[in-house]
Structure 1
């Protein structure tokens, strides 16, 4: 008689237990409101500088034109913050939809003496829960009646089914326990609930994940860049305003001390000079501060997040997509990621050692009928139209070998389910020739098989048994699971005395077709992939070779035991050659992440189980599988909706595209920046007080910031990015290639502008000084425009893959149209007059010269430089 009370709880007692022991609801991470995300986005380092610049502009808001830039900065801050908030808020909403699936689950509980359906969150301690095949266990408890096989991969990462049975002794053992979040494969049972909510194993892991996420490598780089740019701008502003004052006070007075004193003594004149100098300084600071950068970063993140979702990659946190491109080492689960996670019949071998790899290999003979009957009838799975449902993964694999059909004339009388002790399953059928259908482990069935069925369905002496045993042994080493089918005509109690061999079924979790290609792609991208699996060492090594993880003798395969015997120092020595960890335990992942980060490697981790959650959280990028546990998804940065390793490589590509796009934009922006500052500083010393007016400078600022941000934000993901090594964790956002382009193009454009202003021959090509200064304004803009084509690609051909970014073409066309309108109709406000066709073409000829100069630089970089691209 069962010592546990199976009567269940009353509604009143259930409420008392809820108050006493707590709810079964796992407290989800607090969802950020739109407003809180918007406020948080204002903490971006570059936006902080923009806010300071805005404050300065508001203080000096006394010139007619100043409202234009003030409004521009406000719009830039608003757009950058607003767009990033929309993106993150949208991702949170998408993730919340995934979480809702769990809260909608129901289970069968005994309440008030009746079995009733209740929500999983309503389960309380001491509830009696009824479970069957396919059910998710709603809480932690013990089996008080029945036996089941359970998928515990969400808890321990093991794909192997665990056999659980009812409590028979006074002390409870592991085989009697069920855990929240696991799934019943086969059998039925009654569970007594012992722990709910946060007290469950599932809940305790979820509680570990509440630590605040760290700053991404990209954010750190941008923070440093913001400081550099602001310093650059402040120094430039000081030099420009000082040079202007020096020019109007000293140079314009011919260095005469008396005239200088007279000028300084003229209060009204000096106030005009000082106000203009301060206005110039503020303008240069505004031009220097890249208000387009945060907006560009947000746009590029948002656009790529949408692209990634179409590729089955859901970005939960922007930090994930920012960091994905820089991953150095990726720890990946095997089951469901590198393999399909779905068992299939690889082949069938009969008593004559004939192989059948697909249904069409079988002929319509008596042997095939016996084989089909054995596989389909002695099975707990079933056909539901074109699908195979119920049963365990092995049963489903057997049925999936055939197209759905119905066995006619065979009636099941009794079934003895498979258990871990006996290692076989028997189905007693109502048949004149065959009474029992048996399937089980080779070591249990084969020794008792004296005969086998030949093609005609007749019994023959089983002479190939020893050869078959050797084949099975070799296949088992490769990670293949083997099930042997047999029949018997004796009574159930003595069926082992008269076994006739039907066939050996070879079952495997096949490697995904695209896995080798995806792993090869990540290897070419400089990413070390380490496969984490619960398989034995031989099996793991075989799969690793099949997918291309192991290619050289130095590639290492170690077991969890071998890993635990190593000190951290020893592990660091072999880590870069590590390819597989076999027989892995949950704690192995966390240790591997910790040691990798200590080696300054950007780490990625895939996982689907509750036990994977802490490691997913600690990794620089955590990839959760779409079919995984909710705790794993919540801990992750990115959810791989199709569980496919290829999708992870796509995430890496998009991450690199983002970084490349940001670098391209910075090259373009700082090149224009350098030229604008240089001309503003040099101008007064060569007799041109204002080579570019403040209002022209503001239009230049809009071109190089807001409009360019839109143009570069939609750069396409190029396969060539996957042939580069990942960026180092401490690598600055500016590299030598970028510096060479900024300095060479920037200084060339500056020299070009100085020559344009000072060489009499050039000035004489224009009809008037007004048309000459109009052409200079056009030269500045069009030189920057042509440079944008050079900046968008590291190739010699500046039009390479240009059609893949239609937004770039649209924006550049818009700038051309507006610039021409300003030159011809800008009038006094923009200090422009209409140019003749000849004057316009001369200006374009000078401007386009930046292209061949940069082509020469690219050729030299490819030939001699260490860095050959952004």
Structure 2
């Protein structure tokens, strides 16, 4: 058939009428849009209002200009840093996705074949399809025939035959169903054959595009971490608002009553000066706002972005590409993981692993099958297949045919026999007959038959011995028992026989056949998957294997990989699952280990039911049909070799399709979760102590020991730098021994509460001692308004927080536990100390710092250091009571 394809003019005309094959990409949020959203944060709005008020009063000479500058810096850093981090991460992923999706097709245009980008295909294009190609659009065959794998679309692993649409067939009557033997669909893979496809539907209108569009319109589910942080933010906000109002009231009480020595005449005089009252009221409100901001760890989103970004490169080296940051956060909290079998737990590649002859002798390699029997085995392998060998040595591979034929051909390639024979007629394999045959002539004039054992063994009366002599086949029962044993090891078999008669038409030879033997084929379990599954199970994550395989094969793989271990473990088929109500499934969900003959709808149902039970559910998948379940799951693990739609639906892409990489993702997720908890301990200890100090001091007749600018400095510097310090924490194997976190579990554990309470109370107590006792004051030089002591207090507050970072980063008594694996921690702590020393000596009026001398530095450092032994005592007591959690 002569195919010329479209001309350039026709291409443009088709593009104008139907569009090209480009699918609408989900638009990422731009930098300015993200920045605008961040300015919509309630805390930022409050700061902006405070800034405007402060600027007005600065012009009126009622406040210092640098306080306005400090608030402005706070607003800029809090918005721009987080916006830049989020924008950067999103762009990095988009670039990786663009690289991965560059696909070119062989298209007839202007009378010749040319390579065209998949995005530039148009309706009417004629595309050449060959074995291994991904079908780039929906269309019909106009030449040739194919067998295609449509499992990415419909979950059906059975290969579908496609043929040329007859001229009298009305295309408009053919619905877009996958059983239509004349139509092919984008995303399917050509298993065998050659054909030319005429493009009928492109882009978003294709079946593939429609599924992708539906997924983009679905709303993302809040991650378990987001739910936990939401509850935490609500609790802290209430505390912050209460504390802020109380501090504002205490501040005004000090200015109105305490400063006027409780004298009503002085109080009346003060109140008559409205400028003074309004100025103090504005200062009280601003102090309240700053305390509210201080109480709410607004640096937490930035910390999560930073810690995730710092770990993304490490994870990429381990074949884990983070699609959405929320995915890696959630991976650490998984309770249940629904995993595909093929390519994830197994290698995803069929291998011939054994040969059994008619006398039930088993050979574990092709090289051991010698003599005449080896010759007949080579004939059966090489001259009755559609696959061919390409390359030599390490570069050797089988191409063409189906996966089973390629596995058998590679098995036979281990031995090079001289075969002088030629195929003269064939019967192609089909799933209905379950056999194929070839008649050969030359040194051997035979018909070679291969197929399912039930189609072959009953026809065999003779078999070959090792020397190639025919002997009676009287071990059929034992051979069938052997085949059943192999099935128990997830090995399926292909039987080989020969006949002295030839093929007639499409009919197999009559008479009795001679059995050559059976070859055992399996998709081997990855050795590393066994260890990874055990690690994940020990981490408290229930692993459920979901596969389209038959039940006995699925059970064998599940047992070998360690998923099925006891009699309590449930193995269900899709049909059995469908007969159960949702409540029945929920009752037995914790015991389910395998779902065989599974449908895509089973995956979505199981995820939904797990989530209704407040379990954090993970799902793996690679096909378009898996995408709804990947999207619905709390964390979707898309396979790197899968479809682009699956990758877009997933949160994490496992580049090597290996379960071991999923285990690493869980470990990194737990590392990040633990790092977030460490940051919360560190941050809330500062915040709670600051609120207590700011509330009590006015009541004791003191000015707030920390100025607004100093509070902003503590808040911003400790937020950003602490994120860097804790973001580099190493992924430790012991994290996999921790139990998974429930969706409704409070992010602040008992251990964290005791740490925050101890640290904040000790900081508050030392602050009172520092500010109120003559003894401490005596160590500092005299100065106006105790300026040197106040400089010392500001430095003490920063230093005690820096020392507490060592307490927060580990729950061990040994504060240096694995500290060498976090090089950034030392650098950040050193930076905090150096910056604070510089500020103490050179801060001047802006930072209210006037320098310290040796004795004063000693007092500051010693008092700040005491938080370490205090927390060590807490850890020892808590450990002794078994109350780490």
TM-score, with normalisation over the residues of structure 1? 0.89
Residue from 171, 175, 181 that aligns with 1:176:
181
Residue 754 (structure 2) aligns with: 740
Distance 1:17 1:531, change over 3 A: farther
From 809, 819, 841, the equivalent of 2:858 is: 841
- Map of 2:254 onto structure 1: 247
**CA drift at 1:83:** 1.0
| Displacement of 1:505 | 0.5
Contact 1:325 1:654 in 2 (8 A): yes
CA contact (8 A) 2:148 2:189 kept: yes
- 1:149 paired residue number: 147
Listed one character per residue, the Cα deviations across residues 252-294 of structure 1 (whole Å, up to 9, x for unaligned) are 4443333433444456665664455455444434434534323
Cα 1:862–1:156 shift into 2, 3 Å: farther
Task: Report deviation, 1:80.
Answer: 0.5
Which residue among 370, 378, 385 is the counterpart of 1:372? 378
Aligned with residue 797 of structure 2, among 780, 788, 791: 780
- Number of the residue aligned with 1:346: 353
Secondary structure of the residue aligned to 1:100 is coil
1:131-146 aligned at under 5 Å gives the runs 131-140=129-138
2:403 pairs with 1:393: yes
Task: Give 2:159's aligned residue.
Answer: 161
Aligned to 2:572: 558
Task: Name the residue aligned to 2:210.
Answer: 204
Tell me: CA distance 1:456–1:42, structure 2 relative to 1, closer, same or farther (3 Å). same
Shift of 1:787: 0.8
- Deviation digits for residues 475-521 of structure 1 (CA, Å, limit 9, x no counterpart): 23543221122334443447554643333110001112122222222
Please say if residues 533 and 581 of structure 1, whose CA atoms lie closer than 8 Å, have aligned partners that are also in contact.
yes
Deviation (angstroms), 1:830 = 4.4
Counterparts of 1:442 and 1:689 in 2: how far apart (Å)? 92
Once the 2 structures are TM-superposed, how far is the Cα of residue 628 of structure 1 from its aligned partner? 1.4
The alpha-carbon deviation at position 213 of structure 1 amounts to 2.8
Q: Does the CA contact (< 8 Å) of 1:488 and 1:495 recur in 2?
A: yes
- 1:282-681 equivalences under 5 Å are 282-359=289-366, 361-362=368-369, 365-385=371-391, 386-388=395-397, 389-401=399-411, 407-416=417-426, 417-433=428-444, 435-493=446-504, 495=509, 497=511, 499-681=513-695
| Whole-Å separation in 2 of the counterparts to 1:13 and 1:281 | 70
Going from structure 1 to structure 2, the CA distance change for 1:267 and 1:167 (only over 3 Å counts) comes to: closer
CA 1:646–1:58 in 2, change beyond 3 Å: closer, same or farther? Answer: farther
Q: Which moved more, 1:848-857 or 1:233-242?
A: 233-242
1:43 to 29, 37, 41: 37
| Alpha-carbon distance change, 476 to 273 in structure 1, aligned in 2, over 3 angstroms | closer
Indicate the larger mover: 209-218 or 657-666: 209-218
Residue of structure 2 aligned with 1:859, choices 853, 876, 880:
876
Q: Counterpart of 1:651 in 2: which secondary structure?
A: helix
Q: Pick from 708, 714, 725: which aligns with 1:700? A: 714
The 5-angstrom pairing of residues 26-105 of structure 1 reads: 27-32=23-28, 34-35=30-31, 38-40=32-34, 42-43=36-37, 47-61=41-55, 62=58, 63-66=64-67, 67-101=69-103, 104-105=104-105
Point out where structure 2 has 5 or more consecutive residues left out of the alignment.
59-63
| Distance in 2 (alpha carbons) for counterparts of 1:495 and 1:191 | 36
Give yes or no for contact 1:92–1:316 (8 Å, CA) kept in 2. Answer: no
Deviations 1:61-102 (A, max 9, x none): 32232213421331221011111111112212322332332x
Deviation readout 1:384-412 (Å, 9 max, x if unpaired): 22231222111211233366675545243
C-alpha separation between the residues in 1 aligned to 2:219 and 2:102? 23
TM-score by length of structure 2 reads 0.88
Distance 1:124 1:770 in 2: 77
What's the secondary structure of 1:43's corresponding residue? helix
- Residues 711-722 of structure 1: pairs in structure 2 closer than 5 A: 711-722=725-736
Q: After superposition, what is the alpha-carbon deviation per residue over 1:810-837, rounded to whole angstroms, capped at 9, x for unaligned?
A: 0100111222233344455545555454
Once residues 604 and 321 of structure 1 are traced to their aligned partners in structure 2, the CA distance between those partners, rounded to angstroms, is 11
Give the Cα separation in 2 of the matches to 1:425 and 1:393: 15
Whether the aligned pair in 1 keeps the contact of 2:26 and 2:216 (CA below 8 Å) is no
Deviates more, 1:511-520 or 1:78-87: 511-520
- CA RMSD of the aligned region, Å? 3.4
Aligned-residue offset at 1:785 = 1.0
Q: What are the Cα deviations for residues 678-732 of structure 1, in whole angstroms up to 9, with x where unaligned?
A: 2222223445324334443343233422222222222222222222233222334
Alignment of 1:186-225 (within 5 A): 186-189=192-195, 197-198=203-204, 200-214=206-220, 215-225=222-232
- Could you say if the C-alpha distance between residues 105 and 811 of structure 1 is closer, same or farther in structure 2, counting changes exceeding 3 Å? same
Between the aligned partners of 2:703 and 2:197, the Cα distance in structure 1 is 87
Structure 2 Cα separation of the partners of residues 698 and 125 of structure 1: 61
Aligned residue-pair number: 857
What is the distance in 1 between the residues matched to 2:243 and 2:872?
29
Q: Which residue of 2 is the match for residue 758 of structure 1?
A: 772
CA drift of 1:346 comes to 1.8
Residue in structure 1 matched with residue 106 of structure 2 by the alignment: 106
SS in 1 for 2:450: strand
Secondary structure class of the residue paired with 2:525:
coil
Q: CA deviation at 1:783?
A: 1.2
Q: 1:226 to 1:326 in 2, by over 3 A?
A: same
Give the CA deviation at 1:668. 1.0
1:825/1:170 CA distance change after superposition, 3 Å: closer
User: 1:275 & 1:30 partners in 2: Cα distance?
Assistant: 46
For 1:582-602, what per-residue CA distance to the aligned partner results, in whole angstroms no more than 9, with x for missing partners? Answer: 111222222222222222322
**Could you tell me whether the CA contact under 8 Å between 2:389 and 2:410 is conserved in 1?**
no
Equivalents in 1 of 2:16, 2:688: separation in Å?
69
Question: CA 1:189–1:840 in 2, change beyond 3 Å: closer, same or farther?
Answer: closer
| Structure-2 change in CA distance of 1:843 and 1:437 (3 Å) | same
Alpha-carbon shift at residue 143 of structure 1 (Å)? 5.9
Name the stretch that deviates more: 780-789 or 266-275: 266-275
Aligned to 1:628, what secondary structure does the other structure show? coil
